[in-house]
Chains A and B, each alone.
Chain A
Amino acid sequence: NAGVTQTPKFQVLKTGQSMTLQCAQDMNHEYMSWYRQDPGMGLRLIHYSVGAGITDQGEVPNGYNVSRSTTEDFPLRLLSAAPSQTSVYFCASRGLRDRYGYTFGSGTRLTVV
């Protein structure tokens, strides 16, 4: 049981480049979320999804796009990377009636130069 898998683990981008952070879960969870972690700010919600075909914005959505074409996958797209997007990114998932909170991936450390 792999849980939540994020790829890549590390990435360096140049300003203006685009890329997609991948997230996949094998637990048939309905809810999936993307967070970014910055020093002194905890984790902040970027986008989330309550099921295939349904996404919504979180606290800090600007500069990021998401889609949810399947239950398993929830990719995060950076269309034109900026240094302010340098951060650690976490994907998390939860079942519809799961009261134990979210299961997290191992994170992606992204540096934009």
Chain B
Amino acid sequence: AQTVTQSQPEMSVQEAETVTLSCTYDTSENNYYLFWYKQPPSRQMILVIRQEAYKQQNATENRFSVNFQKAAKSFSLKISDSQLGDTAMYFCAFMKHERETSGSRLTFGEGTQLTVNP
């Protein structure tokens, strides 16, 4: 079974600064996907960024980037130029690259509550 751990329950950052959220995972699989989801107070789960394990290049999406260390099983999220709208709960998630009949379920970490201060 896979496990995902987010060791920072809460973090805060000043507007316009950079913050990094940590995530580690445990798996024996070689082929998988990793995701960061954002959950603002509206409760909606929003995909921020994803990484395919077979790709060595770190994914980037505008101000969001990841540091994917496959050997260390680490997948951190860096938010640059933090904005007030980035205030949210952030979840790290793992998904095996399963055969089509198996469903490819998501396994989530506990979440990190990020607050961006003005």
Contact = CB atoms under 8 A, between A and B. Distances in A.
Asked if A and B are interacting partners, one says yes
B100 A96 contact: yes
A90 interface: yes
B50 A104 contact: no
A108 B75 CA distance: 29
Given A40-B9, A43-B91, A101-B33, A33 B105 contact: yes
B59 to A, nearest CB: 12
Nearest to B102: A50
Contacts of B52: 99
Contacts of B102: 50
Nearest to A107: B43
Given A41-B110, A42-B91, A101-B93, A48 B50 contact: no
16 contacts: A33-B103, A35-B108, A40-B9, A40-B110, A42-B6, A42-B110, A42-B111, A43-B108, A45-B107, A50-B100, A99-B50, A101-B47, A101-B93, A102-B106, A104-B45, A106-B44
Contacts of A109: 43
B47 A100 contact: yes
Interface of B: 4, 6, 9, 33, 35, 42-45, 47, 50, 52, 91, 93, 95, 100-111
A88 B111 CA distance: 15
Interface string A85-113: 00010101010100111101011010000
SS of B interface (majority): loop
A9 B102 CA distance: 29
B103 A31 contact: yes
A45 B101 contact: no
Contacts of A99: 33, 50, 52
A100 B50 contact: yes
B106 A33 contact: yes
A57 B34 CA distance: 22
A50 B43 contact: no
